[in-house]
Homo-oligomer: A and B are copies of this chain.
Amino acid sequence: MAEIARSLGVSVQTVSAVVNGKPGISVETQRRVREVIDRLEYHPNQQARTLRGIRTKTVAVIIPSITNPYFPEFVKGIEDEARGSGHSIFLCNTDHDLGHLLEYFSLIKTNKAAGLICSIGIAGEWLVNLEVEKRLRRFARDQVSVVLNGRFREDLPVSAVGVTDAEAIHDAARHLIELGHRRVGIISPPKGFAVTQERLATFRRAFAEIGHPIDDAMIVAGDFDIEAGVAGARALMKKRKRPTAIIAANDLAAFGAISELTASGYSVPNDVSVLGFDDIAFAKVYQPALTTIAQPTYELGQAALRLAIAPPLGENGVGKVVTLAATFVARSSTAAAP
C-alpha cells in the first residue's frame, strides 16, 4: 500500500480511501490509484484489517462428520449463500469428539471468525455441557454471531435454525397405517440427542393418535449410520413377532436396514417396508427408491449463514429462530403389508 502511495506521490490514506470506496477522493486520483492497484496486483491484507478492528468475513462451520451425506448438503447451502456476500467458510469436523470441538472453539476465537454455525444438533448432549455453554456465551460476548442447527436454546444469546417435522411425521404414520402395517419397528436415534429423541416421540405420538400405538418392544437402539441400520434390522427381525415396517433413524440407517433385510432373504418392500429420514441425494436413486421424510437441508444451510453474518446479538441479545418444514416423500421402499 505504501508502495502504491509512493509510486503515485500520494499518501497511504488516499490509497486506503480508494480501496474502501470512502468519499472525498477526486475522481482523477481514484482512477490513477486503481490503475496502479491493478498493475501491481495489490490485494489488501486481511490480517492487518482485522487487527485494526474490522470484522473478518469468515464463518466457522462446526459439523460432526462431513462424510455423513446430510452435511455436505447443509454446507453447500451455507457456501452458496456465503459467496453472495463475500464470506468464506472455515470448516470444522468434530468427528463426534468433544475434545476436538473444544480445540476448534479456541481456533475459531484465535482466528476471529465473524460467525459460527454449530450443527451439533445431532449431538445435542454437548449443549448441556457447561464448558460448551460457557464458550458459546463468550462467543456472543465477543460479537460473534452463533447459530445452532436443530437445537434451540432460548436461555443463550444464540440464533437457531430448525425443522418442524410433526406434520410430515404424521403423514408418514398415516401412510404406513393405510398400507396395513400394524407391527412397526423403529431403529431409534442415539440417546441424548435432543432433536432426534423428540422426533422419536413425535412418531410414537402420531401412531398413538391414529389409534395404533407402537409397541415399546419394537424400538431398538440405533444410530445415524449404515452399520446401525444393519444391526437394527437384524435385531428387529429376531423379535417374536417380526415387524412389517421399519422406521430407521435416518436414510443411512435405512440403507443399512434394507441391505441387511435383502441379504437375509426378505424383499423390500414386499416383505418389509422401510422408511428413512433426511432425503439425502441417494434416497432417490437407491433400489428401491427410499420413502423418507425430506429435510430442507440446503435451505437450512442458507438460513443459517444469513443468521451467522447478521450483526451479533451481544451478550444479552435474544436469538432469532428460523424454522422450515419437513415433508413426507413416498417412494418405493414402502408398500402394502404382506
Contact = CB atoms under 8 A, between A and B. Distances in A.
A29 interface: no
Contact of A75 (B44, B91, B103, B285): B91
A79 B97 CA distance: 14
A197 B287 CA distance: 30
A91 B69 CA distance: 17
Interface string A283-313: 0011111000000000000000000000000
Nearest to A49: B47
B46 A48 contact: no
A76 B83 contact: no
A30 interface: no
Contacts of A100: 83
Contacts of A255: 282, 285
Interface residues of A, number: 53
Given A255-B285, A256-B285, A90 B93 contact: no
Copies in the complex: 2
Question: Is chain A's interface secondary structure helix, strand, loop, or mixed overall?
Answer: helix
A72 B72 CA distance: 7
A110 B43 contact: yes
A148 to B, nearest CB: 20
A164 interface: no
B285 A45 contact: no
Given A43-B109, A45-B51, A47-B50, A66 B90 contact: no
A111 interface: yes
A316 interface: no
A14 B274 CA distance: 64
A258 interface: yes
Contacts of A47: 46-48, 50-51, 112
A67 interface: yes
A73 interface: yes
B88 A89 contact: no
Nearest to A75: B66
Closest 7 CB pairs of A and B: A91-B91, A47-B47, A47-B50, A66-B72, A287-B287, A46-B110, A47-B51
